[in-house]
Amino acid sequence: MMNLNSVKAIVKKPLYKIYESRILKFLDRDRLPQHIGVILDGHRRYSRNEGLAEYRHAYEVGAAKFFEFLEWTHEFEIHAVTCWLLSKENLERPSVELEPLCDVLGDLVDRLPAAVADHDIELRFVGSLDQLPPELAAKAKHAAEVTGSGSRRLTIALGYGGRQEIVDATKDVISKLASEGLDTEAIVEKVDANMLARHMYNPDVPDPDLVIRTSGEARL
């Protein structure tokens, strides 16, 4: 006998296709965002709501949706996409949650070069990559190397923290100015928002026009 979730999936699939086609029909391609950010969140909540036995299943559903979203950005030639897949705080989760998440992320990273091939996309990874599990960090490095450069940008944030990005940018600025022989007072006088912006993880990409959080929650 089919369970309730299976019935829901069967019913939703054709309805979703109709919904998607209606959106595409009325979409103004001249007003598309140039940079879309996506925060993949809510996997544990999804797992509980769907009665899944393991968190890994929820992470796999999220990964599948990620690649579906990536196809949409290819179709509309979105110039820049940033996906926050793993926060720095996530790295402190219990191993029962973190290990399956990193396993799924490792598989996702392995698939990325093929997913962006022929779309003129440069793949970049940002975050505290040195704090990732070694295997995941190595996979991210390899994926970026084999993908090469492109006129479009896909940024994957792993071990990312917004505050940490500001800290790293500040350290870079101070180190640069100190190497020029400036004293503390001169450094303080010279540092401003524009200078910090040039030392962020993605200084050559404009701020996102649209940020989507998959958990259904709206928060900054």
Q: Is 90 a catalytic residue?
A: yes
What distance in Å separates the CA atoms of residue 24 and residue 203, rounded to the nearest whole number? 32
Residue type at 21? Answer: S
Q: Which residues contact 109 (CB under 8 A, 6 or more apart)?
A: 136, 139, 140, 143, 156
Q: Is 120 a catalytic residue?
A: no
In the chain, alpha helices (H): 4-26, 43-50, 55-75, 95-116, 134-147, 162-179, 184-190, 193-197
Query: Looking at 5, 41, 49, 172, which residue is catalytic?
Result: 41
Query: Looking at 5, 28, 30, 90, which residue is catalytic?
Result: 90
Q: Which residues are known catalytic residues?
A: 41, 90
